[in-house]
Chain A
Amino acid sequence: MGTALKKAFELLFSNDGQLWNIVSVTMQMTLTSSVAALLLGVPLGVFYATSRFPGRKALIILNRTLMGLPPVVCGLLCYMLFSGVGPLRQLKLLFTVTGMIVAQVILLTPIVAGNMETYLSGIVGEIRETARGLRLTRGKAFLLTLNESKYALVSTYLFGYGRAMAEVGAVSMVGGAIAYKTNVMTTAIMMYTNMGDFTLGLALGVLLLAISLIVNITAHLLQGRRA
């Protein structure tokens, strides 16, 4: 463990091109996919919680099932879709960062939507009453809902972001862990482990946690300022 920590510090202060490429691909993939999942998942969650129509319960159950979608299954699905003989072969998304982001968004959106639905179901009655009392339009009522769930929004986002950072099954299948292109921190850890370099793998793991810590501190500061 000691050697791994030392190596993590050495790595951090080294000018290694491959390491910084891995870090930047990781950031690009996790930030894009978690923001996209938030933009898709939050309206979906608000829709689940606030609207009333037949089949709503079934939809929520379906969403909860998708929340447990195993990443490798999602990866396999995307691999088959984007594959050279797959139906979406013209998009040429296999072994690209965009393809990895698509897989991540498929995994994260139900999680974001489900978390929002759970949170909102507790306060939806009051919001509806307020909206009725103030005679708010649909759009304004939506904004009010978001305003009432700021704290839940940040924590939901962080949860999604954490999942995106930790994910390895789907991204290794869709991305292929190609050096200088689609190799992210988790797949690089797998690669170095397979080469017998446990120390370097562990050092990358320490860096991964450190990045997560920085993101969480930033989010906490934002959350504190608004609340």
Chain B
Amino acid sequence: MSKKALVILLALALVFSIFGCAQSETTTTTEEETAATSEPIVIDGPEETPFETMSPDYEDKLGITILYEQDDAMINNYTLLAVNEDAPFVDLDGNAVDDVAINTVGAKALIDWMLSDEAAELIGNYGFEEYGEYLFYNKEDRPVSTAEIPQATDETKTIRLSTTTSVNDSGLMSYLLPVFEDEYGYEVEVLSAGTGKAIAAAEMGNADLILVHSKTQEEPFVEAGYSKVLDGYDSERLTFMYNYFVLVGPKDDPAQCAEASDVKEAFQRIADGKYPFVSRGDLSGTHTKEVSLWPEELGITTDAASVADYSEWYLSSNAGMGVCLTMANEMDAYILSDKATFLTFRANGGNFE
């Protein structure tokens, strides 16, 4: 009885794998044919190593593209904040907790390194090879550190960094951090979530430092005493790099956002024509930026109730940037994205194959 079942199972497995091979072979041929007849180069070569799938010669398979960028109102500043170990931490019932473990030494080491000239050079060059564009720029007036960075000890080894999704999903963190870890022996645990969640994690004592991009959310965090000024710096908020938010939308651009004279006018056009717009809706830095760009008379805020009247065209999705970009692509909708995530998303294919 059991042997019979086993034979059936193995036969199924065999059929499955043969089917798999045959299927992939036919796909390869069709891809080659496409490549021969049209210019775009197919990214899926067998010689390619997995987990490093980016290539500058990607084929743009998306229906959405960047329509509006490089506006002063669209600057996206990234800020490092060290978590204060003496912050007024409270538990769920509001009782003070004074023994929250925060690795301040490790956080300072990582911040000192991130603000060093070595890191600045790496950040400034990141992405050009893979995407043909720079994804992040160093701020000219950024705080520069020349402090000596101590080697890791057993107590300071693990650093918990809570970041916004854009710096992680764009690959910047996995590109920068190994250099720091190899040099000084630390282990950086990266938690990636929207700015709102990253800040909430720090307020619950689950991060040693945060890397976020929303001034309006960073300021209350600092005012409440959750961050502190490290030795050698003037401010809790260490704004060190930037890139741009971009307005992404359908290639045929029915709202004609590409011709708008400024970004607010582009948003006005979307609202006037009630063209579908996908909002992150998750209190991320991108979400806070987006709500500041709509015409004031609409009264759109980060509160979901404020957009209830616009639900026919304004989609508050409460999801990560990638998921929202997929939605926008499927629905031919407009969306605000940070440029780095959009370029990575597009290079990765961004849809099913």
Contacts and interface: CB of A to CB of B under 8 A. Distances in A.
Contacts of A176: 189, 191
B274 to A, nearest CB: 27
Interface stretch (A104-112, A114-122, A123-131, A213-221): A213-221
Contact of A198 (B49, B99, B192, B349): B349
Contacts of B349: 196-199
Nearest to B171: A195
Interface stretch (B5-13, B227-235, B261-269, B283-291): B5-13
Interface in A172-201: 176-179, 181, 193-200
A19 B52 CA distance: 12
A2 B21 CA distance: 9
Nearest to B320: A194
Interface in A45-99: 80, 83-87, 89, 92, 94-95
B190 to A, nearest CB: 6
Q: Which one of A8, A92, A196 has the highest number of Cβ atoms from chain B below 10 Å of its Cβ? A: A196
Interface residues of B, number: 56
B160 interface: yes
A7 B351 CA distance: 15
Contact of B345 (A178, A195, A200, A227): A195
B9 A220 contact: yes
Interface string B25-61: 0111000000000000000101001110100000000
A70 B2 CA distance: 36
A14 B50 contact: yes
Contacts of B346: 196
Contacts of B348: 195-197, 200
Contact of B206 (A18, A19, A94): A94
Given A89-B100, A92-B101, A178-B189, A225 B205 contact: no
A195 B346 CA distance: 9
Interface string B132-166: 00000000000000000000000000001000010
Contacts of A14: 49-50
B53 A200 contact: yes
Interface in B299-353: 320-323, 325-326, 344-353
B297 interface: no
A84 B345 contact: no
Interface stretch (B71-79, B90-98, B122-130, B241-249): B90-98
A95 B101 CA distance: 14
Report, as a range, how many residues of chain A touch the other chain.
Answer: 35 or more
A4 interface: yes
B352 to A, nearest CB: 5
Contacts of A10: 46, 50
A181 B160 CA distance: 12
Given A198-B349, A223-B2, A225-B2, A213 B26 contact: no
B55 to A, nearest CB: 13
Contacts of B5: 220, 224
A9 B23 CA distance: 12
Nearest to A96: B189
Given A6-B27, A95-B191, A220-B6, A194 B91 contact: no
Contacts of B320: 194
Contact of A95 (B13, B21, B50, B206): B206
B353 A84 contact: no
Interface in A119-174: none
Nearest to A199: B353
Nearest to A18: B51
B194 to A, nearest CB: 11
A84 B206 contact: yes
A24 interface: no
B216 interface: no
B1 interface: yes
A213 B205 CA distance: 41
Interface string B91-124: 1100001011110000000000000000000000
Nearest to A225: B2
Contacts of A1: 23, 352-353
A7 B50 contact: yes
Nearest to A17: B51
A68 B351 CA distance: 34
B6 A200 contact: no
A198 B351 contact: yes
B50 A85 contact: no
A221 B204 contact: no
8 contacts: A10-B46, A16-B49, A16-B51, A85-B90, A87-B91, A95-B191, A179-B174, A217-B9
Interface of B: 1-3, 5-6, 9, 13, 20-21, 23-24, 26-28, 44, 46, 49-51, 53, 89-92, 97, 99-102, 160, 165, 169, 174, 189-192, 204-206, 320-323, 325-326, 344-353
- In the A-B complex, the 5 residue pairs with the smallest Cβ-Cβ separation, listed nearest first, are A84-B205, A224-B2, A6-B24, A2-B27, A196-B345
Interface of A: 1-11, 14, 16, 18-19, 80, 83-87, 89, 92, 94-95, 176-179, 181, 193-200, 202-203, 213, 217, 220-221, 223-225, 227
Given A85-B90, A199-B349, 9 more contacts: A4-B353, A5-B23, A10-B50, A16-B49, A89-B101, A176-B191, A178-B189, A197-B349, A217-B6
